[in-house]
């Protein structure tokens, strides 16, 4: 069962949800409460983009830093 495609997909989805949750909590601690639009933009990121954001957020000090990063990612 652990080798099934469905099982692996469920595990992958769970990992992405955990990564997203962690990043959103870290972002809240780093720059404060996110407005819903920024929250939605982060939720729309791919797994590789979430991984990149998890590193980039360490350099953020304002929401503008996040917005700039998101704008660059979506070019």
Provide the whole-model pTM. 0.80
Burial class (CB in 10 A: 0-12, 13-18, 19+), 53: buried
Domain range for 66 is: 5-73
What domain count does the chain have?
1
Q: What is the structure's pLDDT at 2?
A: 62
Q: What is the structure's pLDDT at 13?
A: 79
Q: What is the structure's pLDDT at 15?
A: 82
Q: What is the structure's pLDDT at 67?
A: 96
Q: What is the structure's pLDDT at 6?
A: 81
Per-run averaged pLDDT (10 residues), the chain, 75 residues:
75 83 92 93 91 94 96 89
DSSP string, 1-68: -TTSHHHHHHHHHHHHHHHHHHHHHHHHHHH-PPPHHHHHHHHT--HHHHHHHHHHGGG--SHHHHHH
């Amino acid at each position: 069962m652990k080798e099934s495609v469905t099982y692996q997909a469920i595990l992958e989805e769970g990992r992405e949800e955990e990564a997203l949750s962690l990043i959103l909590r870290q972002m809240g601690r780093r720059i404060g409460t996110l407005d819903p639009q920024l929250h939605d933009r982060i939720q729309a990121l791919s797994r590789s983009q979430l991984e990149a954001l998890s590193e980039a957020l360490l350099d953020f000090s304002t929401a503008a830093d996040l917005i700039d990063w998101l704008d660059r990612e979506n070019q």
